Amino acid sequence: MPLRTPLYDSHLAANAKMVDFSGWEMPIHYGSQIEEHHAVRRDAGMFDVSHMCALDLDGPDATRWLRHLLANDVAKLTTPGKALYSCMLDQDAGVIDDLIVYFFTPERYRIVVNAGTAAKDIAWMRGQLEGFDAELIVRRRINGDAVAIIAAQGPDAQERRLTGSDSVAMIAVQGPKARERFWTAFPASCAATEPLGIFQAAEVGNWMVARTGYTGEDGFEITVPADDAAQVWQKLLAAGVKPCGLGARDTLRLEAGMNLYGQDMDEDISPYEAGLKWTVDLKDAARDFIGKSALEGKDARPVRNQFAGLLLLDRGVLRAHQKVITPQGEGEITSGTFSPSLNQSIAMARLPSGVAIGSEVEVEIRDKHLKARVVKPTFVRNGTPLI
């Protein structure tokens, strides 16, 4: 049986076209992917992101454990609700997953990991808990069942079932009018959420509202009790927020230059070859996080490729795994699509080191070599083309 979020019935009621995504039955669109894309760029759209996995980390060693686990450094988080994007690496600096961490106190954090990697992420995290006084609680509901896993103090910790009220759903409201429409639907939340800066969250009762997203637009990601999700969805719908599916989410994130795990990075790729060097914090030389020795020093893995954007100059559509031909050697597209905002095909690619931004390369598409320009891998942000 496919996995379903608490909003599954809401999607069916809105005539969503459902598809499999990492084992989850999710909406790809509600009629027009292009209209949903433009709604987010021009007004406000909402996405069911409850397939993502929320975990709560509690305990005296929570900060110390995260500083060991992640390539980015949570020690820089001092304001309650402040968020951090990071890669979680293996010993060889391969990317196990990319995730967001929200700080509330040095003993309490919220972590959100990707849907398709949640099982392996939890297994890896549990293995790294040994020797740390901390507890990791999984808050996701699957097919109506309550949360079923707690990882506490090491790999041999006992599992116990939580109650249904402990599980959560997540809805992303994105676009230039997203916050305004959210406040129309939930005016009582305005006082707590209006002051939020980018990448910051507030706890509003039993909700968490974060000014984060995966579209390159402003907005909120709302975490609510799973039992409340359908009602929250309906109130946002009544406030003029358009339901959007995974299709628009992918074109929006690609225009914004945001990586997708499993395409733009994985366990065979280091963050340095995925355009994510900025997420590796090496300022504290004494901090020994997992994968550090494979990134720096005499045993560091070689960096042979660079991450860049491509803008197709000929007619066609760029897709993942297409070959890129450059004077420095061959590269490969990791993510590609037709950009509704630019009315042109775009891609992100791993290219040989030395290929210059602004230079022209060729992409092999159906036995034809089509011209493309190498650009910085961010195409549109806040509705504005950047190329």
Domain boundaries along the sequence of the chain: 1-297, 304-385
- Does the pTM surpass 0.85? The reply is yes
Task: Quote the Cα angle for 48-175-320, to 5°.
Answer: 65
Q: Residue 156 pLDDT > 60, yes or no?
A: no
With a pLDDT cut of 90, the percent of the chain lying above it is 89
Q: What is the pLDDT of residues 287-321, one digit of tens each?
A: 999 999 999 988 899 998 999 999 999 999 999 99
**For residues 194-210, b (16+ Cβ closer than 10 Å) or e, as one string?**
eebeebbbbebeebbbb
Report the interhelical angle of 62-69 vs 118-128 (nearest 10°): 120
Q: Given this model, what pLDDT does residue 297 score?
A: 83
Q: Which residue has the tokens 């707690």?
A: 150
With beta carbons less than 8 A apart as the criterion, state whether 75 and 67 touch: yes
Q: What is the pLDDT of residues 338-370, one digit of tens each?
A: 999 999 999 999 999 999 999 999 999 998 999
CA distances from 42 to 16, 20, 107, 178 (A): 22, 28, 40, 10
Helix ranges, 116-177 (H): 118-128
Mean pLDDT score, 204-212: 97
Q: Which residue has the tokens 């590796």?
A: 280
Q: Given this model, what pLDDT does residue 5 score?
A: 95
Q: What is the pLDDT of residues 232-243, one digit of tens each?
A: 999 999 999 999
Q: What is the pLDDT of residues 113-139, one digit of tens each?
A: 999 999 999 999 999 999 999 999 999
Q: 1-297 is classed in which CATH architecture? A: 2-Layer Sandwich (3.30)
Q: What is the pLDDT of residues 48-89, one digit of tens each?
A: 999 999 999 999 999 999 999 999 999 999 999 999 999 999
Identify the band that residue 140 occupies on the pLDDT scale cut at 50, 70 and 90.
confident
Residue 40: name the closest of 200, 199, 172 by CA. Answer: 172
Domain 304-385 has CATH 3.30.465.10: no
